Structure 1
């Protein structure tokens, strides 16, 4: 960063003001654009999205296995919540399980050596 002289100060402040105006303009444009809202699905769309039958979805709702929003008698599902729900059921691969076991064994050995 270079030092400014007193004579250069007005020009530098003007440049800074221009940059701030540009940043403000970008922020306002970004803010005015509609944010990607989470897609809301009804029970039929949810069944189609999950490739399950509607009765299966109702069953999962009754057993509280699936994230759901209820408004009156209608059920609604947020697509992002369904994706997260699917991800939470991910099974680890054999390699991941092996890696976890090895790291646990190593940490247990380190603890035993400290004692």
Structure 2
């Protein structure tokens, strides 16, 4: 029979219990082998697959490649282009547009900095 104890616990205590349990399992080595991370198992994508992943048209991808504005691979002597999903994901997230509140916050920081320098 299993002993079951129900007791209120703080979130911080629960987090600590989980962390300690995970550390214990990892230190003892009693865990199944973990699957490789998706980043290390990053398969090359074709132009069509990259277009689908980025939601861009194939001609747009070729244009970005020709201007070297998107990460890609091309073997010498080959016409084929390849892309890594992890690099495309990073590229898509690089030029995130700031929200109005972020722009206002940056402006206020700039004003405060200028005011502090003048003193």
TM-score, length basis structure 2 = 0.66
Hey, which of these two has a bigger chunk of strand by percent?
1
**Is the CA contact (8 Å cut-off) linking 1:39 and 1:80 kept in structure 2?**
no
TM-score normalized with structure 1 length: 0.68
**2:58 matches 1:54:** yes
Which stretches of structure 1, 4 residues or more, deviate above 2 A after TM superposition?
A: 22-30, 33-36
Secondary structure at 2:56 match in 1: coil
Note the 1:89-104 alignment, pairs <5 A. Answer: 89-104=95-110
Where do 5+ consecutive residues of structure 2 fail to align? 1-23
Q: Distance in 2 between matches of 1:29 and 1:48?
A: 32
Distance in 1 (CA, whole Å) between partners of 2:69 and 2:104 is 29
CA distance in 2, matches of 1:27, 1:110: 55
Counterparts of 2:105 and 2:116, CA distance in 1: 17
Structure 1 stretches lacking a partner, 5+ long: 1-19
The alpha-carbon deviation at position 86 of structure 1 amounts to 1.0
Which protein is bigger by CA-based radius of gyration? 1
Change (3 A) 1:69 1:95: same
Change (3 A) 1:27 1:112: farther
Q: 1:34 aligns with which of 33, 36, 40?
A: 36
Partner of 1:106: 112
| Aligned counterpart for 1:69 among listed residues 73, 85, 90 | 73
C-alpha distance 92-73 of structure 1, shift in aligned 2 (>3 A): same
